[in-house]
Amino acid sequence: MPRRAPLPRLSVPMADALAGHEGLGSLLQRIQASNARLAAAGAALPAGLAAHVSAGPLDENGWTLLARSGSAAAKLRQCLPGIQQRLAQQGWPEVAIRVKVHVSREV
């Protein structure tokens, strides 16, 4: 029995689709840079707080950190000088850091 030729791939991984598009490729780069900044700043966060913070948008106006509650956002704001110092030590360019409360909607 003859072998069938493989079917063309119809789905593309999200990262590949973003990287292959000029405008969306820059979005992917900003997302990766935002996540890398958070990983670099992680040592400046208290252990209990790190689980309540995620990387938000990175754009020409600055970088946003997302906190899961108002109390986490307040503590995160207190940590901003340490975060900025840690990022500077690791060679990241200085940008304004915004803190926003982002509550996920779980059903």
30-58 confidence digits (pLDDT tens): 999 999 999 999 989 998 999 999 999 99
pLDDT of residue 103: 81
pLDDT of 61-76, one tens digit each?
A: 999 999 999 999 999 9
Amino acid at the residue 10? L
> Which range marks the domain in which residue 20 is found?
14-101
Half-sphere exposure of 85 (CA within 13 A, CB side): 8
State the CATH number of the domain containing residue 29: 3.30.300
Q: Which residues contact 72 (CB under 8 A, 6 or more apart)?
A: 49, 52, 53, 101
Residue 91, H or E segment: none
Read off the pLDDT of each residue in 78-86 and give the average, rounded to a whole number: 96
Residue 97, H or E segment: strand 97-101
pTM value is 0.77
pLDDT of residue 107: 55
Both ends of the chain: CA-CA distance in Å?
A: 51
Residue 22 has pLDDT above 90, yes or no: no
Asked if residue 5 is part of any domain, the answer here is no
Number of domains in the chain: 1
pLDDT of residue 96: 97
Greater pLDDT, 16 or 77: 77
Asked if residue 6 is part of any domain, the answer here is no
